[in-house]
Chains A and B, each alone.
Chain A
Amino acid sequence: MFKTFLSLRYLRTRRTNWIGVSGIFVAVAALIMILSIMAGFLQESRDTLRGSLSDLIVQPRFDTPGRDGRPLLKDGAKTLEIVRADPRVAAACLELQWFGLLTMEGRQMILSDPMMAGMSGVHLVGIDVEDELATTDLRAALEAPPRVAVQRVVDVEDPFRAPPTFDPGDDVPRPRVVVGEQLASRWGMSWGDEITIGTAVFDPQTGEPSDYNSMDFQVAGTFRSKENEADLGRIYLDRRDLADLLGLDADYNTVLVRLHDYERHKRAVVADLRERLAAANLLHPPDSSVGRWEVLTWEDFRRNLLAAIQNEKALMGVMLSLVLVVAGFTVFAILSMMVSEKRRDIGILCALGSTSRGVLALFLMIGAWEAVVGAGLGTLAGILGATYIDSIELWLSSTFGIQIFDRGVYLFDHIPHVIDPLGVALIVLGAVVCTLAFAALPAWRASRLNPIDALRYE
């Protein structure tokens, strides 16, 4: 009983102990704050990586005809039907993706600056609006408030609808497109502007470029996704318009699939879809070398980048844990000092009937209280700090007149944070274990003190 009583008393009455508590407090609070904020940034990066993808991506090979000799990419409806038949699938859409060259009347070609050369390589994405809205984050991209002076689409449900300033009497009606906001801004596009998109078409037999097709389109509005690259170079258009432009015997080359419960079902659905689509002759058989890559989760699709992010997070956690070691050293120093100062007390306790194990436990307990109090307060401060980091940063910035976080740099306008309960628990556990480990040596030394020597000391 005396261990609890005395350890708490020593903790309370000896101010040096609070240096140890403060050390642990600062370390735990800083670790939780930094890791939460970094996890927030990484989460944002992850979202960016997911971008316009959906949960699963089906990409049949374009060059190989199916077993019955028909091109694989003509059976969009059938593919969709098979995908949607799975009860775990929430939505699915067809896309036809291609690359094109964008030109615009009246823009001068400036060869010295390829970015301003009057021509841009663009990523053309042919979509079925209703399916696309149900499956991907397109709606959010169409609704996102513009960061530059551009015009959004008139109607999110029908993004290719004619913009208000456009007078159809002016000209022959053109198919309309939705342009990434940075691309639109760079080209100075506004509602109703006419652009020309051209593309090389390949001969399916020889694989050589066989033709250059181009078509005129009208700008219906802009979007802002979380992907910088998409905003700089993507153009959405109706899938049939793109198929017309390409003039190919294919009307889709990608199927995006959204699941009801991605984390739970991703693996099973990927396997099942491979099986079923191959059985319907819409994919290569799953055991062939190409078939393996035709149905992927978005994480498989972006595997390397995701692994890089994960590495970054793990490495940072390890490096920052050194803070805990520093806090542990503080506890070590303070307890060592205390053992020297309290030699006499240790002798008295032994004379009164304490075992050396009791003395060991007493000093370990002091370390444990420091860890518990420090880590407890630190956890509270860390979680509050991470939660209100945005307000804290704004306050600091306005008080000291310096900009700490430049919101213009990122595609998000707040300091993100993700508080991971498991991470917090690990940090607290790490702090307690680290402190106890550092307290162990002085505590052991205290227990080895000869009570006779300790009592003689006056």
Chain B
Amino acid sequence: MSEAQQTAAPSPKSGAAPSPRRADAILRATAIRKSFRAGERRLEVLHGIDLALERGELLGLMGASGAGKTTLLNILGLLDSPSSGEVHLDGQSAWRLPPTERARLRNAKIGFVFQFYHLLSELDAVENVLLPAMIAHSRRDYQQRKAAYVQKARDMLASFGLSERLDHRPTQLSGGEQQRVAIARALLRDPDVLIADEPTGNLDSATGERVLELLLEEQRRRGISMLLVTHDERLAARCERVVYIEDGLVQADSRTPIPQ
């Protein structure tokens, strides 16, 4: 599928725009700036970033610590507002929506996988996976769909090799297991975009490799877009396209290399 989209992608306009634009980009950031107030001074972290994530694309986001990767990711994930610029998710200008609509959009279209898994310690594996569905629906709607969701969550966990761990709490799971639960949670609502922030950063290399395999396999199989933030060159090498962020700007895009 990604192959098809690659071929469908129009060739970049020569030297005009710093990043490619396609009509069917699922997530597009335009001229994103972000500054923080640090005491008296304003500190600008992002200086106007343009970035488009195509449907089905696996995009790696690299950059040194403090380059602004996480800030950009939070803005793209609709968790943090840009100081200026726009984020379009599936054609909607997300930061122009009222907060409730934006939360709904985040729930329906974005799945997060965090470095530290971020599971709720009070809930068991299945309940953690079900959480996005519980957030999405009113009590009555959820009750009507509950059986289907529970089945889906159990199936997913089972296919991730966690069938013996369904009613275990996060503290009873290993790091790799927790991250697999988190991946299942991110996929429950069949999102259009997966945002993974150093998903293997907290795992040993063998476990990290297995988790990454699982993540990439699901991304390919479902044909969803994924934004993968990483330090790891080897990991980046597995992405179709890699964007380098430095000092709050896109310094390099593997598809449209900036002339040195």
| Best-surrounded residue of A5, A344, A353, A450 (most CB of chain B within 10 A) | A353
A-B contact count (CB 8 A): 72
Question: Is there an interface contact between A352 and B131, defined as CB atoms closer than 8 Å?
Answer: yes
- The distance in angstroms between the C-alpha atoms of A155 and B219, with both chains bound, is 101
Question: Is there an interface contact between A344 and B118, defined as CB atoms closer than 8 Å?
Answer: yes
Question: Is there an interface contact between A353 and B135, defined as CB atoms closer than 8 Å?
Answer: yes
Residues on B with C-beta less than 8 A from A347 are 118
Which of B74, B103, B118, B139 lies in contact with A353, CB distance below 8 A?
A: B103
Which of B107, B118, B139 lies in contact with A348, CB distance below 8 A?
A: B118
- The distance in angstroms between the C-alpha atoms of A371 and B185, with both chains bound, is 33
- CB contacts under 8 Å to A, within B114-169, are 114, 116, 118-120, 122-123, 131-132, 134-139, 141-143
- Given known A5-B134, A452-B74, contact A345–B120 (CB-CB < 8 A): yes
Q: Which residue of A lies closest to B138 (CB)?
A: A1
Which of B79, B114, B137 lies in contact with A350, CB distance below 8 A?
A: B79
Which of B74, B100, B107 lies in contact with A352, CB distance below 8 A?
A: B107
Residues on B with C-beta less than 8 A from A345 are 120
Question: Is there an interface contact between B79 and A452, defined as CB atoms closer than 8 Å?
Answer: yes
Q: Which residue of A lies closest to B77 (CB)?
A: A351
Chain A nearest Cβ from B199, distance in angstroms: 14
- The distance in angstroms between the C-alpha atoms of A350 and B100, with both chains bound, is 11
Chain A nearest Cβ from B195, distance in angstroms: 9
| Best-surrounded residue of A354, A356, A358 (most CB of chain B within 10 A) | A354
- Judged by DSSP, the binding face of B is helix
Question: Is there an interface contact between B135 and A9, defined as CB atoms closer than 8 Å?
Answer: no
Question: Is there an interface contact between B135 and A13, defined as CB atoms closer than 8 Å?
Answer: no
Chain A nearest Cβ from B192, distance in angstroms: 14
- The distance in angstroms between the C-alpha atoms of A345 and B120, with both chains bound, is 6
Assess whether A406 is interfacial by the CB under 8 Å rule. Answer: no
Assess whether B104 is interfacial by the CB under 8 Å rule. Answer: yes
Question: Is there an interface contact between B123 and A9, defined as CB atoms closer than 8 Å?
Answer: yes
Assess whether B24 is interfacial by the CB under 8 Å rule. Answer: no
Question: Is there an interface contact between B100 and A1, defined as CB atoms closer than 8 Å?
Answer: no
- CB contacts under 8 Å to B, within A1-55, are 1-2, 4-6, 9-10, 13-14
Assess whether B99 is interfacial by the CB under 8 Å rule. Answer: yes
Residues on B with C-beta less than 8 A from A355 are 99-100, 103
- Judged by DSSP, the binding face of A is helix
- The distance in angstroms between the C-alpha atoms of A348 and B123, with both chains bound, is 13
Assess whether A455 is interfacial by the CB under 8 Å rule. Answer: yes
- Given known A352-B112, A355-B103, contact A10–B122 (CB-CB < 8 A): yes
Question: Is there an interface contact between B79 and A13, defined as CB atoms closer than 8 Å?
Answer: no
Residues on A with C-beta less than 8 A from B79 are 350-351, 451-452, 455
Q: Which residue of A lies closest to B141 (CB)?
A: A1
- CB contacts under 8 Å to A, within B20-56, are none
Assess whether B180 is interfacial by the CB under 8 Å rule. Answer: no
Assess whether A243 is interfacial by the CB under 8 Å rule. Answer: no
Residues on A with C-beta less than 8 A from B252 are none
Question: Is there an interface contact between A348 and B99, defined as CB atoms closer than 8 Å?
Answer: no
Assess whether B69 is interfacial by the CB under 8 Å rule. Answer: no
- The distance in angstroms between the C-alpha atoms of A180 and B119, with both chains bound, is 80
Assess whether A441 is interfacial by the CB under 8 Å rule. Answer: no
Residues on B with C-beta less than 8 A from A119 are none
Chain A nearest Cβ from B170, distance in angstroms: 11
Chain B nearest Cβ from A244, distance in angstroms: 84
- Given known A352-B132, A355-B99, contact A455–B118 (CB-CB < 8 A): yes
Question: Is there an interface contact between A2 and B112, defined as CB atoms closer than 8 Å?
Answer: no
Residues on A with C-beta less than 8 A from B143 are 1
Question: Is there an interface contact between A2 and B120, defined as CB atoms closer than 8 Å?
Answer: no
Q: Which residue of B lies closest to A453 (CB)?
A: B80
- The distance in angstroms between the C-alpha atoms of A342 and B44, with both chains bound, is 30
| Best-surrounded residue of A1, A10, A354, A452 (most CB of chain B within 10 A) | A1
- Given known A451-B79, A452-B79, contact A354–B120 (CB-CB < 8 A): no
- The distance in angstroms between the C-alpha atoms of A351 and B102, with both chains bound, is 11
- Given known A1-B139, A10-B122, A452-B80, contact A351–B112 (CB-CB < 8 A): yes
- Given known A353-B107, A353-B108, A354-B135, contact A1–B142 (CB-CB < 8 A): yes
- Given known A344-B118, A352-B107, A353-B108, contact A2–B134 (CB-CB < 8 A): yes
- The distance in angstroms between the C-alpha atoms of A4 and B108, with both chains bound, is 21
- Given known A345-B120, A452-B74, contact A1–B137 (CB-CB < 8 A): yes
Nearest 5 pairs between A and B by C-beta?
A: A353-B107, A2-B134, A1-B142, A355-B103, A1-B139
Between A and B, 15 residue pairs with Cβ closer than 8 Å are A1-B139, A2-B131, A347-B118, A352-B106, A352-B112, A353-B103, A353-B107, A353-B108, A354-B103, A355-B103, A358-B103, A358-B135, A452-B80, A455-B79, A455-B118
Extra 9 A-B pairs, beta carbons < 8 Å, given A6-B134, A458-B116? A348-B120, A352-B106, A352-B132, A354-B103, A354-B107, A358-B103, A450-B80, A451-B79, A451-B80
Q: Which B positions have Cβ atoms within 8 angstroms of A? A: 74, 77, 79-80, 99-100, 103-104, 106-108, 112, 114, 116, 118-120, 122-123, 131-132, 134-139, 141-143, 185
